[in-house]
Amino acid sequence: MDMAPRYLEEGGLREWPRPAATSNTAPIPSDSRLRGSRSFGEGLASLDKPYLRYVEHLSKQWPRLAYLANFIRAGTAPKKAAGLPAQEILERQNKVKVAFLDFSDPDNIAQKTCENGADLASSLLAGQQQQQHSPGNGNRLNRVLIVEDLSSTVIELLGAALDIDPCFFRAHLEDHTWFNIKDDWVEMPELESQAHKRSFVTIKYMQPRFFENPALSRAAKEQAGRWNVLRRIDFQGQVKSGQNAWWEDSPHQVGLLRRKVSIWSRKEGNNWTGVILVDPCISEGNPLWNGYGSLEAPPKMSTFIPSIVRHPEMPLLESLLSCVSTLSSEDRARLVADPESITSHVYPMVFAEILVTLQYAFTALFQIEWQMDSGRSRKVEDLDTTFDKLQIWQRRLPCYAGWVRDAITGLEGRYDLWKQSTGVPSSSLATVQSGQPPLLQAHTTYSSTSSAWQAGLRRDFVSLLAQLQALQLRADKVMQMAVAILSVEEGKKAVVESRNMGRITYLAFVFVPLSFVTSFLGMNPDIASTSALVYCIFFAVAVPVSIVVLSVATYWNKITLWWESGKVVKKEWTKKLLVRGS
């Protein structure tokens, strides 16, 4: 039976309106309502969407939330929606993939995956009813929702049912690193105090993927374009990987996929609820170097028990489900005292991708340095190409460091980790200058309310930031070496060109006397009438003159020195004569 998508409201479930079957007009997300076909637009305009209204009211005081309202109307990134047919817009709006994990009983964790709005609404409603009854009978409700991609249905249902801060969804929408002055999707920087006691944290990172040929790269771009959230793949500054030697050209490509993970949580009495937003997975290509794998040490052979294997190519949602289903008894016991610790299993997967990215960046810088140092190709044109690649990494590394720094600030504010005895904020980790060691924060004391795993997360992020800063310093030094080598090669090229100009000058010294003698003799008509005499006179006069001119040009420096030395000797004799006369 075909069930129409529905949404949650106080009175129960209502059906989501369907568009007309013949509608082909793409909605305009910047309007006050989506305008596709007439029936589709009227349906959306009449639909009661409390969370959207709430966001629209907030956008008057918080303008950056206006883009979230446009996203909810369009169901995808508004800039994508402009070129999509209405049917695809509807599919994107109703896209749902949410995994429910109920770990109220850690020994019996219940899992449920919702793939349509009706199931999601009913699950949220059931959770609300269970939560209302839990205070009376002393039961607790601990649950986490893992959401893959975002849509209008997901944002509306989760936002209204759980009263989620709209900034949580807004921070997860897009992956821009910079903005034009007319971009309405700009993300503003924040103060450290704004992250204090915030209910969520957003982490940005890169996922390197290896593609055998450009066709797979294009397919991966198209696949990422089918997501509602905006995620792009960077292919600039490729690292070479030739078949016979690494410096040879090859069709292989490595793409750096921009990723985000956002975690929201709230504790009410005995109940704890969390939401984890993750990105979909790209099926094209493979993880670079087959991925990092687990951060844990391998078990001993004597204690090893075959279990569910988490493959690096698994989507993050499935990886989290697999990880939670195989929790150890210690981890399950920790969930009773600290339900928030279930979110700690997300971070190792993020750390693994960041570590692979660091190694890839190191490989790129090493290849650039080797190419310049080995002298295999010292042509100015080749050095310009190497210089461009190096500039790409000089631009990337500060962005990556900024993402890690933002994660540190978010964790410190979310879990109150920023009580330091020195009073120096974590933002002091931001500065890195050429010739200085990475800045690390010392003498840090954590809040007594924070757990060990939360402090451990901060320590790991600081370690990653230190490695990124070391790469920044390396990139700066390689850039200095590149500039020096480029200057030397330009100097060599200038020397060669000056030698060529010297040869041209010598030719001029040869032909100028000949031309002068020819012009001089041409003024006498009697000489021009006797051809044999002309040649004799010409060579008798021109050759000695040319020899004299070439000799003067060849020994001009010595002649100049002799002349200057003569002046010096003359001055000395003049001084001696003056002394004797006095």
The pLDDT score that the predictor gives to residue 377 is 60
| Per-residue confidence (pLDDT) for residue 310, from 0 to 100 | 65
Give residue 232's pLDDT: 93
Write down the pLDDT at residue 241.
Answer: 77
Which pLDDT does position 523 carry in this prediction? 64
Q: Which pLDDT does position 22 carry in this prediction?
A: 36
Beta bridge partner(s), residue 548: none
Q: Which two tokens stand for residue 241?
A: 């990987």
Q: pLDDT tens, 232-267?
A: 999 988 887 777 667 777 888 999 999 999 999 999
- pLDDT score for 59: 93
Six-digit token string for 393: 């990494």
Question: What is the per-residue pLDDT for 238?
Answer: 83
Whole-number pLDDT of residue 15: 43
What's residue 208's pLDDT? 95
Distance in angstroms between the alpha carbons of the first and the last residue of the chain: 128
Sequence ranges of the domains in the chain: 6-16+94-179+190-299+308-484, 17-93, 524-581
Burial-class residue 117 by CB neighbours within 10 Å (0-12, 13-18, 19+). Answer: buried
Instruction: Mark the ranges of the chain whose per-residue pLDDT is less than 70.
Output: 1-47, 133-139, 244-245, 307-310, 375-381, 418-450, 503, 506-507, 509-510, 514, 516-517, 520-535, 537-538, 579-582
Q: Which residues contact 491 (CB under 8 A, 6 or more apart)?
A: none
Q: What pLDDT does 4 receive? A: 39
Which residue pairs, CB below 8 angstroms and at least 24 apart, start in 546-549? Answer: 546/509, 546/510, 546/513, 546/514, 549/509, 549/512, 549/513
Which pLDDT score is estimated for 547?
Answer: 78
This prediction has a pTM of 0.77
Nearest CA to 252 among 263, 264, 240, 244?
A: 240
